[in-house]
Amino acid sequence: MSQYFKHHVFFCCNQRQPPDSCCNNQGASELQAYAKSRISALGLKGKGNIRINKAGCLDRCDDGPVLVVYPDGVWYTYVDQADIDEIISEHLQHGRIVERLKI
């Protein structure tokens, strides 16, 4: 049985009330939208390719913001568009884990 998506990426976009930490207070929704648009612009969206999704709490907000790439089960943190670009280029396009962002 083949996979529907080569990679399925889930961005924690959970929103908690202060003082609890949450990924959404660190730009998760904006960077998820950026990743989704980049994947589309690169022609990598859809069946057999890559799917970018928002997720509720992934229970790692203290490490956040976080995303997880399946089926690899690799967790990343990130701070800006450059980090997202690196994850897209290195991991999603070339299969190389970005060790400096891995958690």
Residue 72 has which token pair? 């690899």
CA 101 – CA 66 distance, rounded (Å): 10
pLDDT digits 0-9 by tens, 18-51: 788 889 989 999 999 999 999 999 999 999 999 9
Through-space distance between the first and last CA atoms of the chain, rounded to whole angstroms: 30
pLDDT digits 0-9 by tens, 50-100: 999 999 999 998 898 999 999 999 999 999 999 999 999 999 999 999 999
Domains observed in the chain = 7-94 (3.40.30.10)
Quick one: pLDDT band at residue 1, thresholds 50, 70, 90? low
Q: Residue 69's pLDDT is what? A: 98
Q: How far is CA 12 from CA 41, 64, 94, in A?
A: 22, 8, 23
Bridge-based pairing state of the strands 50-55 and 7-12: parallel
Q: Residue 86's pLDDT is what? A: 98
